[in-house]
Amino acid sequence: MKTSIMRGLLAGVATFVMPFAAGATDLEVTHWWTSGGEANAVQELAKAFESTTGHHWVDGAIAGSGNTARPVIISRIIGGDPMAATQLNHGKQAQELIEAGLMLDLTDIAEEGKWAEIVQPKSLLDACTVDGKVYCVPLNIHSIQWMWTSNAAFEKAGIDPVNNWEELKAAAPKLREAGILPLAMGEQGWQEAYLVHNLLSGTSEDLYYAVYRDKDEDALNSDGVKAVFNELAAAREMSAGGNVQDWNLATAKVINGEAAAQVMGDWAQGEFALAGKKAGQDYNCLIAMGGEPSIATGGDAFYFPLNKDPEITAAQKDLAKVLISPESQVAFNLKKGSLPVRGDVDLAAAGPCMQKGLETLAAGKVITGTDQLITPDAVGQIQDLMAEFFGSDMTPEDAHAAFVEIILNDE
């Protein structure tokens, strides 16, 4: 909070100073990176942009999660008051905006910078491409298939740190006895929905694709999917009494050793780093919650809404080049805890958790993210369903039936 006020003040001061710098353009950049670790990371981008191009980065951070920020971003673009650049997730979120011609075509920059050769995995660039034209800059790879565990919490309960979901379930009663919350979970649908996706991809890649990509009715009603919903009921029990909403507050519980584990995307790493915790020593990261290790390559991308001012358009293209440059890729992703989108950069400074992610990526254990497989409508309905399930005593059978309905009706 304090840093964003400071940044706002600095931006205010800068607007007074900047007119004297020739050729400098103010670019308003919106994003929802507001937790401590995230704000640190985005600072790196602003620094790189301002020092290499001389333009000015006007920070438009929108507090809250993507679910709060996306409506603001999209309604500004549709309403004819576009920002110069904005964060969105890869996938179907921006597709209609692109089709309506509201986004800047970056194909020339992409060809000049040989993005097709440097972006790894290729699916990231594909997610930015509509009808052969490139409309966004992939910035990082985020995967949600992670479980974070606190060594201090297990020590306090007098048991060994767990290595997977099953062990966590077994350890839950002892953790409770020691006054430790077995599973920290923010009571927001999007966080709870991650658990569904992760349990499915952790069961098997085939099942995951049969559900989300093929929307196969037999697969949806298979024992594998039903079992996932029973696991969710176990998760509901383990997370009862947590009383937190925001993901970073849930992460804080794991950092402080008040909770044993959290299922959250790899951006949680930034919070651990900010708190001065060391991976392996203070906390552990388990891909796919200890199940079949594969990660989804969703992530953040920058889109540039179409603008009438040619100066802004030129500055937008400058920003696009900066975002994908090796220097900013390394600086940003190290702070953010995400993986770079290009395979040719050196990440020697990456911690053990990031190394695990890079290894998985290099081994080709990559799955397509849910945002790219189902519509935002279905994503939202699954989140509602999970919010209802975790906030009530809904039976796993009812939740499973509702889930099947949502997937089958998704266009």
Partner 1 sequence: MSVIDPVAPRAAGRPKKLIANPMAKIAALPMIMTALVIFIGCSVWTVVHSFTKSKLLPSSQFVGFDQYERLWSTRRWLASVENIAIYGLVALVFSLVVGFVIAVLLDQKVRAEGAFRTIILFPYSLSFIVTGLVWQWILNPDFGIQYIVRGWGFENFTFDPLHNPDTVLAALLMAGLWQGTGLVAVILLAALRGVDEDIWKASRVDGVPAWKTYIWVVIPILRPAFVTATVLIATGIVKLYDLVVALTNGGPGIASEMPAKYVYDAMFGKQNLGQGFAASTMMLLSVLLILIPWAIFEFRGKKRG
> Which of the ranges 32-40, 111-119, 299-307, 369-377 carries the binding residues for partner 1, by CB under 8 A?
369-377
Binding piece for partner 1, criterion CB under 8 A, among 163-171, 200-208, 290-298, 371-379: 371-379
| Cα distance between residue 225 and residue 231, in whole Å | 10
Q: Does 146 bind partner 1 (CB under 8 A)?
A: no
**Smaller CB distance to partner 1: residue 174 or 176?**
176
CB contact set of 16 (below 8 Å; sequence gap of 6+): none
Q: Is the dihedral of CA 180, 181, 183, 187 positive or negative?
A: negative
**Using rule CB under 8 A, residue 83 touches partner 1:** no
The Cα–Cα gap between 178 and 126 comes to 49
What is the rounded CA–CA span in Å between residue 326 and residue 112?
A: 15
Closest CA to 193 of 376, 411, 397, 366: 376
- Position 188 contacts partner 1 (CB under 8 A): yes
- Strand segments (E) across 228-287: 259-263, 283-287
- The minimum distance between CB 127 and partner 1, in angstroms, equals 16
Report the nearest approach of partner 1 to the CB of residue 379 (Å).
8
Select the residue interacting with partner 1 from 392, 395, 401, 408 (CB under 8 A).
392
Residue choice 148, 165, 229, 390 for contact with partner 1 (CB under 8 A):
390
388 makes contact with partner 1 (CB under 8 A): yes
Would you count residue 387 as binding partner 1 (CB under 8 A)? yes
Determine which helix (DSSP H) or strand (DSSP E) holds 357, and give its type and residue range: helix 352-362
Q: CB neighbours of 5 closer than 8 A, spacing ≥ 6?
A: none
| 12 to 51: interface string for partner 1, x by CB under 8 A | ----------------------------------------
Binding-residue total with partner 1 (CB under 8 A): 29
Residue 256 in the binding site for partner 1 (CB under 8 A): no
CA dihedral (187, 196, 142, 171) positive or negative: positive
Residue choice 14, 18, 78, 306 for contact with partner 1 (CB under 8 A): 78
Residue 367 beta carbon to partner 1: minimum distance, rounded to whole angstroms: 23
**CA 338 to each of CA 64, 85, 197, 353, 410: distance values in angstroms, whole numbers, following the listed order:** 19, 20, 19, 10, 30
Q: In what order do the strands lie in the sheet with 136-138?
A: 56-61, 26-31, 85-89, 300-303, 136-138
Asked whether position 380 contacts partner 1 by CB under 8 A, the answer is yes
Measured N-to-C along each axis, helices 396-408 and 376-390 cross at an angle, to the nearest 10 degrees, of: 170
What would the x/- binding string for partner 1 be over residues 99 to 128, using CB under 8 A? Answer: -x----------------------------
Rule CB under 8 A: say whether 391 interacts with partner 1: yes
Long-range residue pairs from 172-178, CB within 8 A, at least 24 positions apart, any chain: 172/237, 172/238, 175/260
Q: In whole angstroms, what is the distance from residue 302 CA to residue 90 CA?
A: 9
Q: Least CB distance from residue 114 to partner 1, whole Å?
A: 32
Q: Does 214 bind partner 1 (CB under 8 A)?
A: no
Q: Encoding tokens for residue 144?
A: 């949600």
Query: Contact between 237 and partner 1 (CB under 8 A)?
Result: no
* Distance of alpha carbon 187 from alpha carbon 168, whole angstroms: 20
> Quick check: 397 binds partner 1 (CB under 8 A)?
no
Residue 179 within binding range of partner 1, rule CB under 8 A: no
**Nearest CB to partner 1, comparing residues 185 and 350:** 185
Interface contacts to partner 1, rule CB under 8 A: 67, 70-71, 74-75, 78, 93, 96-97, 100, 187-188, 243, 245, 375-377, 379-381, 384, 387-392, 402, 409
